[in-house]
Amino acid sequence: MNEQNPSCRFPRSLRLLNRNEYQQVFADPLRSSDQLFTILACVNHSENARLGLAIAKKSIASAVQRNRIKRLVRESFRARQAMLPGLDIVVLAKKGLQDRSNNEIHRSLSKHWDRLVKKCAQS
């Protein structure tokens, strides 16, 4: 039997699930952007950070690459979610991301999480 470590799961309570939840983030977000990602966030008045992914086929044509990017974003989010309490976050991918290594993607995401923490502390 293959048992997963509970900290490695991505339960529904940590996800943005419907259109209204995404629209709230898009309405008035804190932004963090670089060559690889644009990350939008807003306060959700909850204890948990929640993640939404918007990895467009237009940006990354290959389904294999889109799924790789999504997996990397979820892994990075799970590792840092404790320092992001009370935020709803939407990650948008930019063109050319599929050509980057996993390490480059992880570094970029780490910088984004740090920026979001600083921006939330200021506001």
Domain ranges of the chain: 6-122
- Per-residue pLDDT band for 1 (boundaries 50, 70, 90) equals very low
Q: What is the mean pLDDT of residues 56-83?
A: 93
Asked whether the beta carbons of 40 and 30 are under 8 A apart, the reply is yes
Is the pTM here over 0.85, yes or no?
A: yes
Cβ contacts of 90 within 8 Å, gap of 6 or more:
16, 22, 25, 26, 29, 39, 40, 41, 51, 52, 53, 54
CA dist., res. 105 & res. 123, Å (int): 27
pLDDT tens, residue by residue, 5-55: 545 677 888 899 999 999 999 998 999 999 999 999 999 888 889 999 999
Task: State the architecture of 6-122 in CATH terms.
Answer: 2-Layer Sandwich (3.30)
